[in-house]
């Protein structure tokens, strides 16, 4: 327990910190700590003031709701104060609230109006003679900001109330928020314009409402739910909270569709669990639920304390954002070679679980956040989403924190890291060799469009690697029947069939072989273009960056991927083992302009009866054609089999010649 002097000093510090956080949250719309951190500071101040009542002053944050209004708007005095809510952080605190209330009201059970706690901006709107005349933010609970012109731009807020029985004067409260879909669309627009994005829907809503230019607010996707009436004249309000909400709806005021009534605290907690399970699918952000005594008479009997009503409480979800410290930054190599940086964190409880790691996504994200080892960071976890770092609290950065240097070589196999997407995403170039990628590289190598090894499915690849029978694709051709037959669910016949299929795959084509190597961004078309342009594997392996970029549709990034792949000694070693194991293909002459279909662009669609699509594609490419997947003005022919789909319609619209299967045979010169 703190001494009086220690408590006085700590209270003074808490006043200053909470005032700063309030200013950043309410005035600048730029909070630097998560709500959970603010709540802890606030509760600590409450504890100290309870121990030493003489330390509670009139300007204490515990005696106020929020902070001063923005200077850019006129001030509005609330005739009925806009109070905040006390918080219950777990079920026990919610039950204690219910127990105290039953004792105060001298009842055995309480009926509650229960509703989601929206993460938005509290607002008061005044209607006179059914017309909207003023809107104000909560501000400090007594004085708010006049945002009438901005509120008028929000489509879900009626300018005129419905019906003849609406009040002469109605001051109504609710929450302005930004739906998740609108928030995502707004951030996408901000990115496209090169402007700052918003951290969350609550900040986006607050920032949008506090624009001095109402035209900006009008362009933002804001919404509102009404949840209470303040001053009312000219009509008698209903006797319960739930019935009053029905009255508001009758007057054209939008209320939350997920509000309900619950008898007793157990039913309230069950409601909270139900809403919590739906949280990620709700179209709006929430951070808990609110329990309000349904009877207005009992509300009035319970009354209020200086800061909050005694008859209501916010039952908060476990925080989805928390503050912690970055102890280290490591990188993980994914199954496809993607290099993902991961922050190793001081353990912190977020979203109901203890979090020790958070993804940093890629090199560009690290640079955007400027996150460093030793930094205090805000971590977010929503539902089953992988935890991520939202922002860095740079005010707490250690003096010796150095900028993070993204690795230039794979931490697993030491292959060079290559970058795509403008240098944002790094990938290990050792696809055939890297242990982190070997299972996926083998699966790809054996796939139908690559070496087409029948019977070598994903599960069998997993078993072969786990049993230590193969480490890379080069080991496939040294497998023996007796080794495979010993594996689970394998017998002599199936083992023999697999070995036969592996043997058969030695006879392939150069395009298939190149595709099977799994070079980043080298698909079937690029592999075929490489084979046709260079003719031999040796020429491709020794091609310079300039040579590679001469090939159709190969730009600098893909050329760099190809060049880097063949520049790795371990990749060349595995390729040499494959060739040494007998893999071979028919010789291809380098691409010539005198081939019958040279320069022609052809699209295949539908099912062909005479040959497979892949064989038709190979035949067209052997004759110099370029086979693409989509129809455009540059397309020369569309070959349409059975059930061709919408590509035929598009071809006809663009005037592209459509061939049937007989027309394909003619084109190939087979008829």
Catalytic positions: 117
- Residue 608 near residue 574 (C-beta atoms within 8 A): no
Where do the H-state alpha helices sit in 328-447?
363-369, 438-446
What's the gap between Cα 362 and its chain centre?
Answer: 14
CB-based burial, 89-101: b 16+ in 10 Å, e otherwise: beeeebeebbeeb
Pseudo-torsion of CA 320, 325, 330, 336, nearest 10°?
A: 10
Return d(Cα 157, Cα 175) in angstroms, integer: 11
| Cα 184 to Cα 187, 199, 369, distances in angstroms | 5, 11, 19
- Residue 130 near residue 250 (C-beta atoms within 8 A): no
Would you say how long the chain is, in residues? 671
Q: Which residues pair with 146 in a beta bridge?
A: 136
Q: Give the largest Cα separation in the chain, rounded.
A: 102
Torsion over CA: 273, 277, 282, 287 (sign)? positive
Nearest 5°: the CA angle 384, 387, 393 is: 150
3-state secondary structure 314-359: EEECCCCEEEEEEEEEEEEECCCCEEEEEEEEEEEEECCEEEEEEE
Strand arrangement of the beta sheet that strand 312-316 belongs to? 86-88, 312-316, 286-293, 111-118, 260-263
Angle, nearest 10°, between helix axes 35-51 and 4-22? 150
Backbone angles phi, psi at 50, to 5 degrees: -70, -35
Return d(Cα 294, Cα 270) in angstroms, integer: 17
Q: Which residues pair with 341 in a beta bridge?
A: 331
- Residue 390 near residue 380 (C-beta atoms within 8 A): yes
Query: 637-640 and 657-659: which strand pairing?
Result: parallel
Q: DSSP readout, 471-490?
A: SSGGGGGG--HHHHHTSTT-
Q: Which residues lie closer than 8 Å to 352 by C-beta, 6 or more apart?
A: 317, 318
Query: 321-333 and 338-350: which strand pairing?
Result: antiparallel
Q: For tokens 């790795």, what's the residue?
A: 568
Return d(Cα 542, Cα 535) in angstroms, integer: 12
Q: Give the three-state DSSP class for 289.
A: strand
- Residue 461 near residue 479 (C-beta atoms within 8 A): no
Count CB atoms within 10 A of the CB of residue 143: 17
């Amino acid at each position: 327990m703190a001494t009086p002097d220690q408590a006085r000093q700590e209270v003074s510090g808490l006043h200053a910190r909470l005032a700063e956080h309030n200013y950043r949250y309410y005035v600048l719309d730029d909070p630097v700590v998560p709500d959970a951190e603010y709540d802890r500071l606030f509760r600590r101040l409450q504890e100290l003031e309870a121990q030493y009542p003489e330390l509670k002053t009139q300007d204490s944050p515990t005696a106020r709701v929020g902070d001063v209004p923005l200077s850019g708007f006129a001030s509005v005095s609330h005739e009925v104060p806009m109070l905040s809510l006390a918080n219950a952080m777990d079920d026990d605190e919610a039950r204690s609230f219910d127990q105290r209330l039953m004792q105060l009201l001298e009842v055995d059970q309480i009926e509650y109006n229960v509703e989601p706690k929206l993460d938005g901006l509290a607002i008061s709107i005044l209607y006179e003679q059914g017309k909207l005349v003023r809107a104000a933010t909560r501000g400090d609970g007594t004085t708010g900001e006049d945002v009438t012109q901005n509120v008028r731009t929000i489509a879900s807020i009626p300018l005129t109330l419905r019906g003849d029985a609406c009040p002469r004067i109605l001051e109504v409260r609710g929450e302005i928020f930004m739906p998740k879909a609108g928030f995502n669309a707004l951030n996408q627009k901000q990115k496209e314009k090169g402007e700052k994005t918003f951290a969350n829907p609550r900040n986006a809503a607050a920032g949008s409402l506090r624009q001095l230019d109402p035209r900006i607010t009008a362009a933002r996707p804001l919404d509102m739910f009404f949840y209470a009436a303040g001053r009312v004249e000219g009509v008698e309000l209903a006797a319960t909270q739930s019935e009053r909400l029905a009255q508001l709806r009758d007057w054209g005021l939008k209320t939350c569709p997920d509000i309900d009534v619950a008898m007793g605290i157990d039913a309230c907690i069950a409601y909270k669990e139900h809403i919590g399970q739906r949280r990620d699918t709700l179209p709006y952000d929430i951070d808990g639920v609110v329990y309000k005594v349904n009877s207005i008479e009992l509300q009035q009997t319970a009354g209020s304390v200086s800061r909050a009503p005694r008859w209501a409480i916010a039952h908060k979800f476990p925080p989805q954002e928390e503050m912690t410290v970055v102890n280290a930054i490591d990188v993980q190599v994914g199954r496809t070679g993607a290099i993902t940086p991961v922050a190793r964190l001081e353990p912190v409880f977020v979203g109901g679980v203890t979090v020790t790691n958070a993804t940093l996504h890629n090199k560009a994200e690290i640079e955007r956040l400027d996150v460093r080892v030793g930094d205090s960071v805000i971590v977010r976890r929503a539902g089953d989403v992988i935890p991520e770092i939202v922002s860095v609290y740079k005010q707490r950065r250690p003096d010796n924190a150095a900028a993070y240097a993204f690795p230039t070589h794979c931490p697993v196999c030491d292959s060079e890291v290559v970058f795509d997407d403008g240098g944002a995403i790094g990938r290990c170039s050792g696809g055939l060799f890297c242990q982190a990628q070997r299972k996926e590289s083998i699966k790809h190598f054996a796939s139908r469009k690559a070496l087409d090894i029948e019977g070598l499915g994903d599960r069998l690849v997993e078993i072969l690697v786990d049993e230590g029978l193969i480490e890379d694709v080069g080991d496939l051709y040294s497998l023996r029947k007796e080794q495979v037959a010993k594996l689970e669910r394998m017998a002599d016949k199936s083992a023999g069939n697999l070995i036969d299929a592996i043997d058969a795959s030695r006879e392939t084509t150069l395009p298939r072989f190149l595709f099977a190597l799994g070079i980043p961004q080298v698909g079937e078309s690029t592999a075929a273009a490489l084979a046709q342009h260079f003719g031999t594997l040796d020429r491709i392996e020794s091609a310079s960056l300039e040579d590679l970029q001469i090939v159709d549709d190969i730009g600098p990034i893909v050329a760099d991927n190809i060049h880097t792949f063949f520049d790795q000694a371990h990749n060349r070693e595995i390729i040499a083992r494959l060739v040494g194991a007998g893999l071979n293909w028919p010789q291809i002459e380098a691409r010539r302009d005198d081939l019958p279909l040279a320069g022609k662009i052809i699209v295949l669609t539908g099912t062909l009866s005479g040959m497979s699509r892949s064989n038709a594609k190979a035949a067209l490419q052997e004759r110099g054609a370029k086979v693409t997947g989509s129809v455009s003005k540059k397309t020369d022919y569309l070959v349409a089999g059975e059930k061709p789909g919408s590509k035929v319609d598009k071809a006809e619209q663009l005037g592209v010649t459509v061939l049937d299967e007989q027309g394909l045979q003619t084109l190939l010169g087979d008829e």
